[in-house]
A and B are shown apart, each in its own frame.
Chain A
């Protein structure tokens, strides 16, 4: 089947009419080119958007308090309430499959006034009272010193971990912040560590302008009592936080005498739902890329099929002669099919190679010009290439099928008739 004569003949047939072969090949080339390009651009968008999530734990829900919207047990609506530190324990006891529950408090915020002082330098920063687990929910790199630990919590140490942005504002470049003191709202904290964040989209700078102190020390220093501002709750791998969150809300409502049907009292942001929405979006985008790409490819394949029909027509007599000489119908069928598959694969490979080159160039330009928001590192993996090749082989076979059938349908006696 794959002997030398077969190949020679394929080449002879395809090279007899160069221009026609090229035009036909272009259809398939263009189809696969578009397909790969669409998939790569989709991938680039996906990588870009997912970068925005950073590497934070996506199986996480953030809950906070809002005003109660239904009267319950003699309490009026419109009431405000606070989470208490006891809520953490009762959630931990009553809800399974939770990995982290981090109660958090915060000072400062968007466009806050200066709240941190060191010597003659001042700055407005977000100050968080946190538990050590927060570093696993909202990852950061410790660039010097250490992060908070449970000794800090238990002993209510007034220590702080500051972002690189904070350091840049409060310290000289050459100064080592570890062991120095900063005043947060008039209370002195010792800096024990600095951190930075990996590229996380537009919020990176903001996120490096933060200060983390132990939750217990924060509550004591800023008169929070046992109030909790909000909580970040992460589920174990394999369990979706979206499924678990309602039971968490149930516990909270019970603890704070809120009507079980009150949907407004507990505010939340479900990062997992958000993430899976993005996932779905890109799955859809991928499907569209395949759909469009394959449609474009299809028109190329129809072109191949057309040309093969013409080739068969032109070679009717030759095929007749060969059958008279004793070539079996299968052999002729295979010949036509191989010509068609060969043409499709060669032009498809050109498409794959050229689109890959283009993607390489795009990547090169992206890299040279620095990061672009929501678009990063468009690429295709070997899986996509294999899928594309499979599509090519199948479509080549499909394109050759009708012409091959035509080729052996003509009876040899009609094919060689001289008129």
Chain B
């Protein structure tokens, strides 16, 4: 599903440049649940941004579902993001003045799905994350866990190939974190490919594979025994 080879990325900080990714080789198969771990500054968010086409690598190749991702202009990138990727962020990033339902419907709107179909589908996804009754609430009327579940529903609404989650539990207490992880595991069980960036070991243990990043290189790439989050909920 995801194949990257010899990926480099550096940022210019004034006169000196900061080499963040120093040749990453990495591939993900369909249906995997991968945690990317590493201390801050290890380049894990940068990697995720490149995978999410929010940022571009300096060199190296990136294939997503056998489509080479290179030389993207903004319109094309937007198109790919919309078709291939779903995003979940640490700070939820819901749009404040839109209801939960409308937030979930956004990616479908960009796909030009008609309004009625769009809202119906969004409601289905909200139901799957258990927030059907909250469909018409604004984000500031929801708790952190609820917000993140809306965000996950939004990410899934466009039926992406890959779900990318940047510290999805970073702003949540541990109980809510496990609830969210339970949801993510359920989504993974249906065969969706998911990548999670995290620095919490217990969250990482709930994935099927952990990739350790350190100073811009992959230090360790291991398969792990998945801990089901449902037992903590």
Interface string of B157-170 (1 = CB under 8 A from A): 01000000000000
Residues of chain B in range 38-60 having any CB-CB distance to chain A below 8 Å = 49, 52, 54-55
A85 to B192, CA, bound (A): 110
Stretch at the interface among A108-116, A205-213, A240-248, A405-413: A405-413
Closest B residue to A317 by beta carbon equals B93
Asked if A326 meets B82 with Cβ closer than 8 Å, knowing A16-B97, A411-B55, the reply is yes
**B91 adjacent to A327 (CB under 8 Å):** no
Q: Is there an interface contact between A4 and B95, defined as CB atoms closer than 8 Å?
A: no
Among residues of B, the one whose C-beta sits closest to the C-beta of A319 is B95
B97/A325 in contact, CB under 8 A: no
- By the criterion CB–CB under 8 Å, are A411 and B87 in contact? no
Q: In the assembled complex, how far is the CB of residue B97 from the closest CB belonging to chain A, in whole angstroms?
A: 5
Q: Would you list which residues of chain A between 286 and 345 have a CB under 8 Å from chain B? A: 317-318, 321-331
- 0/1 interface trace, chain B 89-129, chain A, CB 8 Å (1 if under): 11101111100000000110111000100000000000000
Q: Quick check: B55 and A413 within 8 Å, CB to CB?
A: yes
Specify which chain A residues have a CB less than 8 angstroms from the CB of B91 in the assembled complex.
Answer: 418
Residue in A3, A322, A412 whose CB lies within 8 Å of B106: A322
Q: How far is the CB of B105 from chain A (nearest CB, A)?
A: 9
A126–B121 CA distance with the chains assembled, in angstroms: 93
Write the chain A residue with the least CB distance to B73.
A329
Check if B110 sits within 8 Å of A331, measured CB to CB.
Answer: yes
A255 CB to nearest chain B CB (Å): 83
Q: How far is B106's CA from A328's CA once the two chains are assembled, in angstroms? A: 12
User: Which residues from B are CB-within-8-Å of A327?
Assistant: 78, 82, 106, 110
* A93 close to chain B: CB less than 8 A: no
> Knowing A325-B87, A326-B82, A327-B110 touch, does A4 contact B54 (C-beta < 8 A)?
no
Whether A324 pairs with B97 at a CB distance below 8 angstroms is no
CB <8 Å contact, A329 and B74: yes
B171 to chain A: closest residue by CB: A418
Q: B83 interface residue, CB < 8 Å from A?
A: yes
Q: Within the complex, which residue of B55, B78, B115 is in contact with A326, where a contact is CB–CB below 8 Å?
A: B78
- Taking CB atoms, residues of chain A closer than 8 Å to B106 are 322, 325, 327
Residues A326 and B97 in contact, CB atoms below 8 Å apart:
no
Which of A3, A328, A408 interacts with B110 by CB under 8 Å?
A328
Interface string of B66-97 (1 = CB under 8 A from A): 00000000110011011100010111011111
Chain A neighbourhood of B94, CB < 8 A: 321
Q: Do A324 and B74 touch (CB < 8 A)?
A: no
Are B79 and A328 in contact, CB atoms less than 8 angstroms apart? Answer: yes
A324–B54 CB distance below 8 A: yes
Residues of A contacting B111 in the complex (Cβ-Cβ under 8 angstroms): 326
Q: How far is the CB of A319 from chain B (nearest CB, A)?
A: 10
**From A318, A324, A329, A418, contact of B52 by CB (8 A):** A324
How far apart are B159's CB and chain A's nearest CB, in angstroms?
A: 12
Tally A residues with Cβ within 8 Å of B.
Answer: 24
- Complex CA gap A317/B154 in Å reads 17
CA distance A327 to B80 in the complex (A): 10
Q: Check if A328 sits within 8 Å of B75, measured CB to CB.
A: yes
Cβ contact within 8 Å between A325 and B107 = yes
> Could you say which residues of chain A place their CB within 8 Å of the CB of B74?
323, 328-329, 408
Q: Would you call A326 and B75 a contact (CB within 8 A)?
A: no
Which has the most chain B C-beta neighbours within 10 Å: A322, A411, A413? A413
Asked if A4 and B78 make an inter-chain contact with CB atoms under 8 angstroms apart, the answer reads no
Chain B residues near A408 (CB, 8 Å)?
Answer: 74
The answer to whether the Cβ of A237 comes within 8 Å of any Cβ in the partner chain is no
Within 8 Å of chain B (Cβ to Cβ): is A203?
no
Query: How far is the CB of A215 from the nearest CB of chain B, in Å?
Result: 84
CA distance A18 to B52 in the complex (A): 37
Check if A155 is an interface residue, CB within 8 A of chain B: no
Once bound together, how far apart are the Cα atoms of A318 and B91, in whole Å? 12
Residues in B151-196 with C-beta less than 8 Å from chain A = 154, 158
Q: Which residues of A contact B90 (CB under 8 A)?
A: 418
Contacts of B49 in A (CB 8 A): 413
Taking the closest CB of chain A, its distance from the CB of B139, in whole angstroms, is 11
CA distance A245 to B101 in the complex (A): 82
Tell me which residues across on chain B come within 8 A of A325, comparing CB atoms. 81-82, 87, 106-107, 110, 154, 158
The chain A residue with its CB closest to the CB of B82 is A326
Nearest Cβ in chain B — how far from A75, in angstroms? 91
The answer to whether A5 has its CB under 8 Å from any CB of chain B is: yes
Nearest Cβ distance between residue B196 and chain A, in whole angstroms?
17
List, sorted by A's number, 25 A–B pairs whose CB atoms are closer than 8 Å: A4-B115, A5-B115, A12-B97, A318-B95, A322-B95, A322-B106, A323-B81, A324-B52, A324-B87, A325-B81, A325-B87, A325-B106, A325-B107, A325-B110, A325-B154, A326-B78, A326-B107, A326-B110, A327-B106, A328-B78, A331-B110, A411-B54, A412-B54, A413-B54, A416-B89
A: residues with CB less than 8 A from B are 3-5, 12, 16, 317-318, 321-331, 408, 411-413, 416, 418
**10 closest residue pairs by CB, A with B:** A326-B82, A413-B54, A326-B110, A326-B81, A328-B78, A321-B93, A418-B91, A329-B74, A413-B55, A325-B107
Query: Other than the known A5-B115, A325-B154, what 12 A-B pairs have Cβ atoms closer than 8 Å?
Result: A318-B95, A321-B93, A324-B87, A325-B110, A326-B83, A327-B82, A328-B79, A330-B75, A408-B74, A413-B49, A413-B54, A418-B90
